[in-house]
A and B are shown apart, each in its own frame.
Chain A
């Protein structure tokens, strides 16, 4: 993959932490001919992955404005991809996130139901998303405001009728801050992202097969993921690699599926619940510490990001990336006595937790045994995603004071633009969401959904408990819904050459 970086769109390879300002422009293609013309002019302006081949200080650097482009299935059809290519994409991408059974399985019911979404619902025509990133680390507030203006100006200049587009919605992210790095509940975010095996990485942690995230490479089963093909022919098709079948070219190679969800967070409700519930847990420390302790149990990390498995009693020093290189087995936490089995981080990335029965070593192997741990890790690593999301909406407390978070009600919506990349939407994103986050019977539990993402969903049955393993085991009830889906779609982010092919159609 190292030699293909310039063919892969940059957002797949990093979250552009160096570009604090970000916006996502959702668009419809109203005139395919004009849109293809625009695409042809624009490909070279987009940010590709060359910069990931070198250290940050060495050229090539990121462009001042990093732009990336992805399309929905309807968008690719609108641009004129042939049916055989359109059929070669994965079924969830073809059906869309708002397909009723899929939505049910993702927990998008009641207030999260697709019919209520601000974007991505079945009635709306949504063909793609243009993501734009700008600015530099350490920008002043003024500079940041200017950067958002630049972004908006660019989006307006590009996604307009002249070029065959209609801007459906522009989503502005909260400017990111390399020091703050918190999501709205007040927890450090963006930890424990898998790393590409063959790319230089800050720490030698968590490498995953490239084919899990980018089409055209071997996945965790040492197989090439299914990739859409186009008929061979003169012109832009020739630039693509040969396809699996004779007479075909590989359209999907170096592209990836982008899952995009707008998740609204009810911050005061989360902290109100934690405050109330902590009073009923006999082991919780008194007062404010009890609140922090219970919130950490629900999340699996202390607000500063340090893992409960490593620092069970109080937060550790501010997390360095390499401190996250732990297994539950080696941290003496196979049974959830430090980081509860049902906590958010554990169930969205169970590492070496024995599934589906962690509490029965006779059945699932001895966690003290390294081979056993590695075998389990291998299995859970078949369900990883590359997260690239950013928060949106105002930050009410820069020091994340739970008291301020609990009591400050604001008009403006806040939440997370959850973005992630994967090569197999069903086995990766949807699996994590349905089988781990939403599943009340995850890892031998009975009525415990993910306390952040999944409380009181009707799929697969309504549940709202949370269990804190230990002796005695404690349980709390009545987890409220604190995250609601407000929009979402599956996109495909094609390679540079595939974009060239689209432009030539």
Chain B
């Protein structure tokens, strides 16, 4: 089964009523702060979902943004999205309508699916860190690892091949009696994730894919001279000035963001920033994002790292209000500090490309250099444009990407016994 993402953006009629309705959702979290029961039914197939209420433009009413990252058997994106919306409305429509009824263009409960569909907004670029893993499979593989490690706790020391054979037999027997291993059939090939051959190939390609997939970004050369001159005309982000002017309101905002974070392995980043003025910037951004999107789909998704960042489950960029603002949603592992550190240490070039056309972004050179390399300034800019995520749902808040992918490789090794020389590499994964 594959995973797809959707985003609904609605103009709010009554912001207070929406805020109250969202508070009702977060109040109903019997299994922890990032598990609102609204999204918890397994048949919905939701990995991550969120609601955010954005009030960026003081002269306009706020926006309500809803995202869901979900399992689907549909190959085509549009079909997957409408099927998911229909399923949501069927199962939790009443509770969702409690929220959306306070938005423009959501008049009738009977038209709810259509109204949601018409407010869908496409992502300008999207990435997923573990393709082909539906919720059921993730749970199964998590339990499989547990079964193996428990067995090893008391297994006598012995030759690897012998131990492997015993483990295999132990699991094979359990598949018939252990309901949590239902569906695991070691006699058949392992499901794709993608294949290790594809991943190995991607990992050895170096910069090749950056060139091979560069077609969508080439049109930006139309603004070649502008791109060269922007570093000299754009003002630098005034980290110090902004910080020295902090008021209690700013401090409260930081506390609110912080209070929302780190209630499980994963966090939600919601980030909104206006674009720099001028059509050229929007043009550059659109093409840069098309490039990132293509790299994600053709390269990064297969490795499970976005430009070297190994901790993102689902991420996407989205233009709001005809390209006035750029919205970024990320569902990532570990703390904000560690995530932003990875941005700086691993992926500065790609991020620069994604954000260089936005307001006050730390200065870049030729769209890719500089920028996020300025660690403190980049973090300050990021935090300043971060917005609270009012509702955040994470289906497996104790599973990091590293563990999730590793679990799949462990399973893979039971379906396809590794040759003796690779057995130790497989055992190493049992950690």
What is the distance, in angstroms, from B57's C-beta to the closest C-beta of chain A?
Answer: 27
Residues of A within 8 A of B149 (CB): 467, 473, 475
Residue among B150, B338, B345, B430 making CB contact with A431, cutoff 8 Å: B338
1/0 contact string of A17-33 vs chain B (CB within 8 Å): 00000000000000000
Cβ distance A273 to chain B, nearest Cβ, rounded Å: 16
Q: Is the CB of B240 within 8 A of A434?
A: no
Say if the beta carbon of A446 comes within 8 Å of chain B: yes
- Do A446 and B262 have beta carbons less than 8 Å apart? no
**Is B61 in contact with chain A by the CB < 8 A criterion?**
no
Contacts of B310 in A (CB 8 A): 356-357, 363
Find chain B residues with CB under 8 A from A88 CB: 240, 243-244
A104 interface residue per 8 A CB criterion? yes
Binds A, one of B285-293, B351-359, B368-376: B368-376
Contact string, A193-236, partner B, CB cutoff 8 A, digits 1/0? 00000000000000000000000000001010110010000000
A54 to B338 CA separation, bound complex (whole angstroms) = 39
Query: What B residues does A439 contact at CB under 8 A?
Result: 334
Closest partner residue, chain B, to A89 (CB atom): B243
Interface status of A286 (Cβ within 8 A of chain B): no
Residues 452 to 466 of chain A near chain B (Cβ within 8 Å): 459-461, 463
Residues of A within 8 A of B199 (CB): 362
A287 at the interface (CB under 8 A from B): no
A152 at interface, CB cutoff 8 A: no
For residue B63, give the distance in angstroms from its CB to the closest CB of chain A. Answer: 26
- In the bound complex, CA of A467 to CA of B148 (Å): 13
Cβ contact within 8 Å between A226 and B239? yes
Whether B261 pairs with A360 at a CB distance below 8 angstroms is no
Task: Flag whether A336 is at the interface (Cβ < 8 A).
Answer: yes
Within the complex, what minimum Cβ distance (angstroms) separates A217 from chain B?
14
Number of interface residues of B (CB under 8 A): 64
- 8 Å CB interface, A104-159 against B: 104-105
Q: Are B259 and A471 in contact, CB atoms less than 8 angstroms apart?
A: no
Task: Choose among A359, A361, A463 the residue with the greatest number of B CB atoms under 10 Å from its CB.
Answer: A359
Q: Cα distance A226–B305 when bound, in Å?
A: 31
A469 vs B152: C-alpha distance in the bound complex, in angstroms? Answer: 11
Q: A461, B398: Cβ atoms under 8 Å? A: yes
Bitwise interface map of A from 31 to 71 toward B, beta carbon under 8 Å scored 1, else 0: 00000000000000000000000000000000000000000
Q: Is the CB of A87 within 8 A of B376?
A: no
B431/A223 in contact, CB under 8 A? no
B240 touching A245, Cβ below 8 Å: yes
Closest approach, in angstroms, between the C-beta of A373 and any C-beta of chain B?
Answer: 16
Closest chain A residue to B336, Cβ basis: A426
The reply to whether B153 and A335 contact each other, CB–CB distance below 8 Å, is no
Q: A474 in the interface, Cβ–Cβ < 8 Å?
A: yes
When distances are taken between beta carbons in the complex, the residues of chain B under 8 Å from A225 are 376
Chain A interface residues toward B at CB < 8 A: 84, 87-88, 91, 94-95, 99-102, 104-105, 221, 223, 225-226, 229, 244-245, 280, 282-283, 335-336, 341, 356-357, 359-363, 379, 382, 424, 426-427, 430-431, 434-435, 439-441, 443-447, 459-461, 463, 467, 469, 471-475
Q: A91-B254, A435-B337 are in contact. List 19 more A-B contacts (CB 8 A).
A: A87-B246, A88-B244, A99-B255, A100-B259, A104-B262, A105-B262, A223-B374, A226-B243, A363-B303, A382-B341, A424-B376, A427-B337, A427-B341, A430-B337, A434-B335, A439-B334, A441-B333, A444-B400, A474-B153
